[in-house]
């Protein structure tokens, strides 16, 4: 456990990169000051000029990594995902489910609940579950198996919630009998995210008024924009309130589409990886939701060519955004930290370097290369050359 950082380049909200002292009290940020401190430097870290302390990255939409998947429903698979994400600077994540049979979903959710309450604390934090399906559209199912897709069902959702009270976000097709489920999620303070949806723009506008607050992997698996019916995509872009997930691998979405989304939702854009088990692995044959996935040339696809998640890492997403947009370093980091924290309603504890928040940090260079990852004041990952982190 470290005591903090002294005189280190630090990304502070609204201030940019400032040489700062960040003092910890266990796993929490106790104080932040630019005033020189006369204290013993034992167990404190001073970063060199070319490195920056930034808030830990939050991935609210990830299926798997390093050869394992959330739907396996085992403690060991979730633990491997949690530890593998440290190299990417991800300090918090939401394991994401798929449309499979009820028993498989319950098993995965129960495992997420069990992991949260028995966390070995040597990896990225599991915040809670992201339920993606089965309440989605068969028309825009993406890589989800159609046989397991059903209309929204509050009673079934409550059984999912019993297995995992920590469900944080739900991707659903509002047009598929979604009114009652939306009302229930709003009451339960769960983030309702439109996705895998054929919702018309008028209906989506109504859903946003009732509490839909997010769009799942914007552009992907939703009805497209047309000049006589702007569809789900158009409804998302037209909204002034929706936070918008984005898979910025430059495969799921083109650079110009990213620029368009940025124009419409520049301070509401959330970077996600939507990665599957092939992340950090070689090209080859893998699985997602029980379906065969072929990973080749940086893309993961079903045998019919449908994109099936990604192999994207969060640092690469940030690099792609930097190359695509004329955007500040701080605003790019916000897309992977404070904006997802706000979306998950945890920004009082996570997402930025502020007094009272958790001591979750990433040490990176100006090109978003991860040098070290700190979770709750513990250095859980560092590159060998990081001699300042002894």
Q: Is 138 exposed, middle or buried (0-12, 13-18, 19+ CB in 10 A)?
A: middle
Q: Tokens standing for 28?
A: 């929490």
Q: What is the pLDDT of residues 252-270, one digit of tens each?
A: 999 999 999 999 998 999 9
Q: Which pLDDT band holds residue 35 (cuts at 50, 70, 90)?
A: confident
Least trusted range by pLDDT, from 31-40, 83-92, 204-213: 31-40
Task: Work out the average pLDDT over 335-339.
Answer: 98
Closest Cα partner for 171 from 138, 209, 212, 208? 212
Looking at residue 289, its pLDDT comes to 83
Q: Which pLDDT band holds residue 194 (cuts at 50, 70, 90)?
A: very high
In a domain, residue 295? The reply is no
How many whole angstroms separate alpha carbon 315 and alpha carbon 302?
25
Domain hosting 382: range is 4-54+353-389
Shared domain check, 43 and 116:
no
Cβ–Cβ < 8 Å for 153, 135: yes
Cβ–Cβ < 8 Å for 62, 81: yes
Task: Work out the average pLDDT over 135-156.
Answer: 97
Shared domain check, 87 and 35:
no
Shared domain check, 130 and 91:
yes
CA 371 to chain centre: 20
Shared domain check, 134 and 33:
no
Q: How many domains does the chain have?
A: 2
Closest Cα partner for 353 from 41, 42, 8? 8
In a domain, residue 365? The reply is yes
In a domain, residue 220? The reply is yes
In a domain, residue 210? The reply is yes
Shared domain check, 48 and 164:
no
Task: Work out the average pLDDT over 224-235.
Answer: 97
Shared domain check, 70 and 39:
no
What is the CATH number for 359?
2.30.40.10
Shared domain check, 43 and 62:
no
Q: What is the pLDDT of residues 55-67, one digit of tens each?
A: 999 999 999 999 9
In a domain, residue 304? The reply is no
pLDDT at 279 over 70: yes
Shared domain check, 185 and 85:
yes
Shared domain check, 47 and 144:
no
Shared domain check, 184 and 40:
no
Q: Tokens standing for 117?
A: 């309450």
In a domain, residue 288? The reply is no
- Can you list the alpha helix ranges (DSSP code H) found in 164-309? 179-187, 201-210, 231-238, 255-265
Q: What is the pLDDT of residues 157-173, one digit of tens each?
A: 999 999 999 999 999 99
How many whole angstroms separate alpha carbon 5 and alpha carbon 52?
11
How many whole angstroms separate alpha carbon 371 and alpha carbon 383?
5
In a domain, residue 258? The reply is yes
Active-site residue set: 274
Q: Which pLDDT band holds residue 384 (cuts at 50, 70, 90)?
A: confident
How many whole angstroms separate alpha carbon 219 and alpha carbon 225?
9
Residue 298: count other Cβ atoms within 10 Å of its Cβ.
Answer: 13
Q: Tokens standing for 274?
A: 């939507």
Q: What is the pLDDT of residues 234-253, one digit of tens each?
A: 999 999 999 999 999 999 99
Shared domain check, 187 and 320:
yes
How many whole angstroms separate alpha carbon 331 and alpha carbon 294?
34
Shared domain check, 94 and 14:
no
Closest Cα partner for 64 from 274, 284, 276? 276
Q: Average pLDDT over the chain, rounded to whole? A: 96
């Amino acid at each position: 456990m470290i005591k903090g950082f002294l005189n280190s380049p630090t990304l502070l909200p609204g201030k940019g990169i400032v040489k700062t002292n960040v003092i910890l009290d266990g796993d929490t940020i106790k104080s932040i000051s630019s005033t020189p401190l006369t204290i013993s430097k034992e167990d404190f870290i001073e970063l060199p000029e070319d490195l920056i302390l930034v808030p830990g990255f939050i991935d609210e939409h990830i299926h798997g990594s390093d050869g394992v998947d959330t739907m396996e429903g085992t403690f060991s698979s979730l633990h491997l995902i949690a530890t593998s994400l440290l190299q990417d600077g991800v300090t918090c994540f939401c394991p994401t489910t798929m449309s499979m049979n009820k028993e498989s979903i319950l098993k995965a959710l129960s495992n997420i609940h069990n992991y949260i309450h028995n966390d070995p604390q040597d990896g990225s934090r599991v915040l809670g579950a992201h339920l993606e399906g089965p309440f989605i559209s068969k028309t825009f199912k993406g890589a989800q198996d159609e046989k397991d897709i059903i209309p929204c069902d509050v009673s079934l959702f409550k059984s999912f919630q019993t297995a995992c009270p920590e469900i944080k976000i739900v991707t659903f097709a509002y047009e598929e009998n979604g009114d009652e489920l939306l009302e229930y999620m709003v009451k339960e303070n769960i983030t309702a995210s439109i996705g895998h949806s054929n919702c018309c723009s008028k209906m989506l506008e109504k859903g946003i008024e009732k509490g839909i607050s997010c769009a799942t992997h914007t552009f992907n698996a939703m009805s497209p924009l047309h000049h006589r019916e702007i569809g789900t995509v158009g409804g998302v872009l037209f909204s002034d309130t929706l936070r918008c997930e984005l898979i910025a691998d430059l495969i799921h979405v083109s650079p110009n589409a990213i620029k368009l989304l940025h124009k419409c939702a520049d301070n509401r854009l959330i970077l996600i990886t939507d990665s599957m088990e092939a992340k950090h692995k070689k090209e080859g044959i893998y699985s997602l939701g029980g379906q065969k996935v072929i990973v080749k040339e940086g893309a993961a696809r079903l045998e019919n060519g449908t994109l099936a998640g990604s192999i994207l890492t969060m640092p690469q997403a940030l690099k792609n955004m930097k190359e695509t947009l004329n955007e500040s370093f701080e605003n790019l980091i916000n897309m992977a930290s404070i904006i997802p924290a706000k979306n998950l309603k945890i920004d009082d504890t996570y997402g930025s370097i502020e007094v009272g928040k958790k001591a979750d940090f990433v040490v990176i260079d100006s090109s978003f290369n991860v040098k070290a990852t700190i979770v709750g004041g513990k250095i859980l990952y560092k590159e060998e050359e990081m001699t300042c982190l002894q």
